[in-house]
Amino acid sequence: MSEQNLRVLIIGGGPAALTAAIYASRANLDTTVIAGYQSGGQLMLTSEVENFPGFPEGIMGPELMDGMRRQAERFGSKFIDADATRVDFSARVKKVYVDDDVYEGEAVIVATGASAMWLGLPSEEKLRGRGVSSCATCDGFFFRGKEIAVVGGGDSALEEALFLTKFATKVTLIHRRDKFRASKIMQDRAARNPKIEIVGDTVIEEVLGENKVEGIRVHNFKTAETKEIALDGVFVAIGHRPNTDIFTGWLEMNEKGYLVVTNETETNVKGVFVAGDVYDYRYRQAVTAAASGCKAALDAEHYLEALAGEPAEILTAQNW
Ligand SMILES: Cc1cc2nc3c(=O)[nH]c(=O)nc-3n(C[C@H](O)[C@H](O)[C@H](O)COP(=O)(O)OP(=O)(O)OC[C@H]3O[C@@H](n4cnc5c(N)ncnc54)[C@H](O)[C@@H]3O)c2cc1C
C-alpha cells in the first residue's frame, strides 16, 4: 500500500478539522473532510476575531474559516458538506456514514466541536454577535467601559463574570436559583468583587434592543417582580454540549459527553484521533483547536506510516 492510498477521514468543519485537513493533505494523504451542514464551526457565529495570530487588524470569523478551507483544498482535501450520521470503527478500515453513503479510511480524525447552550429566547438569537455572546475570553474585550450581564450558576459562569470585570464597569450575574452550583471559593470571589451584582431567583425574559443589546427584561420568581435593566452585553454561560452522539458506544467519553484522549490525540480506538473542542473543554479557542488539529494529523500520519509497513495479510485483514 503506497502512502497515496492511505485515507484519512476528518469529521467536522471548524478550525480543528480544517487545520488537520491542511496538514494531512499536505502530507500527501488522501483526505476527505465530512464538514457538516454548518461547515466552518463556531466562528461562523461571530463577527470579528481579534486574537488569532497573524491578523493584526483582526479578521471576520467566516473569512478566517473560508481561508482555512481554501488552504486545505489547495493541497487536495475533498469536502462533503453534510453531517456524518453514523460510524463503524470495528475494523482496521473505519467507516463513516452520511445517511446511506459510506466513506472509508484507515485513520479518522474526530473534530466535531461543541455547541454552546443558549437560553432559547428569540431576542437572544436575534442579537447573537451583537452583544449576546457565549465566550468571555473571545468577546470580553469588546465591552470595555460597558455594563453587562452574565447568566448561569456554575463555576464557568462565575469564572466568566470575574474575568469580565477586567473590562466591564458592572457585571450583573443572573441565576435562576438562589444557590449557586459553583464552588464556594468562586462564590466568595464573586461576592467580594465590587463590580459584580448577584441577582438570584431570576430569569431573563427578553434581551432588549433592535440591532444591538440595549438591556434585558428580567423576572424574579420570589418577588414576582418584572423589570428592565439597561446594559450593553449578555454573556450566556449555562454550559456547552459536545457533538459526540454518533460516537456513543465507540469512543470513550466523560460524564458530560466530551471525548477522552489518551496520549495527546489518541482515543481508545486505534487509528481514531481527536482534535478541538470535542475533547478540550478547558481552553475552547480557535488557536488551540487549530493546534490540536495539527497534532491529530501528525499523529494520524505516523499511525498510517506504521500501517504501510505492515505485511499485506495484516493490511487486508478485515478485523485486527
Ligand atoms: C460566538 C463565539 C465567538 C468566538 N470567538 C472566538 C474568538 O474570537 N477567538 C477564538 O480563538 N475563539 C473564539 N471562539 C471559540 C472558537 O470558535 C472555538 O474554540 C473553535 O471554533 C473550536 O473549534 P473546533 O474545530 O474544535 O469546533 P467547532 O468550531 O465547534 O466546529 C465543529 C464543526 O463540526 C461540525 N459537526 C458537528 N457534528 C458533525 C457531524 N456529525 N458531521 C460533520 N460535522 C459535524 C459542526 O457543524 C462544526 O462545523 C468563539 C466561539 C463562539 C461561539
**Ligand 1 closest atom vs CA 245:** 41
The pLDDT tens digits for 181-218 are 888 898 999 999 999 999 999 999 999 999 999 999 99
Which of the listed residues 57, 112, 127 should we mutate to test ligand 1's pocket, taking the one with most ligand atoms within 8 A of CB? Answer: 112
Locus of grid cell 469588546: 142
Residues in Cβ contact with 222 at an 8 Å cutoff, skipping those fewer than 6 apart: 178, 201
% of the chain surpassing 90 pLDDT: 82
Ligand 1 in contact with 131 (CB < 6 A)? no
**Ligand 1 closest atom vs CA 83:** 42
Residue 232 lies in a domain: yes
Identify the residue whose C-alpha is closest to ligand 1 atom 19: 285
Contacts 24+ apart (CB under 8 A), 85-91: 85/246, 86/246, 87/11, 87/246, 87/247, 87/250, 89/250, 89/251, 89/269, 89/271, 89/272, 90/319, 91/318, 91/319, 91/320
| Residues 134 and 174 grouped into a single domain | yes
Say what the alpha-carbon torsion angle 265, 267, 271, 276 is, to the nearest 10 degrees.
-40
What is the chain's Cα-based Rg? 22
Residue 75 lies in a domain: yes
| Residues 78 and 31 grouped into a single domain | yes
Between these two residues, 181 and 167, which has the higher pLDDT value?
Answer: 167
| Residues 249 and 305 grouped into a single domain | yes
Ligand 1 in contact with 153 (CB < 6 A)? no
Identify the residue whose C-alpha is closest to ligand 1 atom 52: 42
The per-residue pLDDT for 40 is: 94
Residue type, 294: C
Residue 320 lies in a domain: no
From the CA of 74, how far away is ligand 1's center (Å)? 22
Which three cell numbers mark 18? 480544517
Residue 49 lies in a domain: yes
| Residues 110 and 127 grouped into a single domain | no
Ligand 1 in contact with 236 (CB < 6 A)? no
From the CA of 15, how far away is ligand 1's center (Å)? 7
Q: Residue 255 half-sphere exposure, CB side, CA atoms within 13 Å?
A: 0
Q: Is 56 helix (H, G, I), strand (E, B) or coil?
A: coil
Ligand 1 in contact with 43 (CB < 6 A)? yes
Split into its structural domains, the chain has a count of 2
| Residues 105 and 156 grouped into a single domain | no
Locus of grid cell 454548518: 38
| Residues 70 and 49 grouped into a single domain | yes
**Ligand 1 closest atom vs CA 246:** 41
The pLDDT tens digits for 224-243 are 999 999 999 999 999 999 99
Sign of CA dihedral 260, 266, 267, 273: positive
- Domain range holding 303? 3-115+241-315
The per-residue pLDDT for 6 is: 80
| Residues 122 and 208 grouped into a single domain | yes
Q: Is 2 helix (H, G, I), strand (E, B) or coil?
A: coil
Give the span between the Cα atoms of 320 and 313, in whole angstroms: 11
| Residues 122 and 232 grouped into a single domain | yes
Q: Residue 6 half-sphere exposure, CB side, CA atoms within 13 Å?
A: 26
Instruction: Tell me what the pLDDT averaged over the chain comes to.
Output: 93
pTM for the model stands at: 0.86
Q: Catalytic positions, please?
A: 135, 138-139
The pLDDT tens digits for 253-273 are 999 999 999 989 999 999 999
For range 119-127, the mean pLDDT: 96
Q: What is the CATH number of the domain that holds 131?
A: 3.50.50.60
Q: Which of 170, 205, 236 is the last residue of a domain?
A: 236
| Residues 87 and 122 grouped into a single domain | no
- Cβ neighbours, 10 Å, residue 262: 9
| Residues 152 and 210 grouped into a single domain | yes
Which of the listed residues 64, 95, 138 should we mutate to test ligand 1's pocket, taking the one with most ligand atoms within 8 A of CB? Answer: 138
| Residues 166 and 194 grouped into a single domain | yes
Does the pLDDT of residue 2 top 50, yes or no? no
Q: Which of 236, 266, 283 is the last residue of a domain?
A: 236
Residues in Cβ contact with 320 at an 8 Å cutoff, skipping those fewer than 6 apart: 91, 92, 270, 314
For range 88-114, the mean pLDDT: 96
Ligand 1 in contact with 12 (CB < 6 A)? yes
Give the span between the Cα atoms of 3 and 143, in whole angstroms: 50
Q: Which of 213, 236, 259 is the last residue of a domain?
A: 236
Contacts 24+ apart (CB under 8 A), 123-129: 123/206, 123/207, 123/208, 123/209, 124/204, 124/207, 124/234, 124/236, 126/207, 127/207, 127/209, 127/212, 127/213, 127/234, 128/45, 129/45, 129/46, 129/47
**Ligand 1 closest atom vs CA 275:** 26
**Ligand 1 closest atom vs CA 34:** 43
| Residues 169 and 196 grouped into a single domain | yes
Between these two residues, 177 and 107, which has the higher pLDDT value?
Answer: 107
Identify the residue whose C-alpha is closest to ligand 1 atom 2: 46
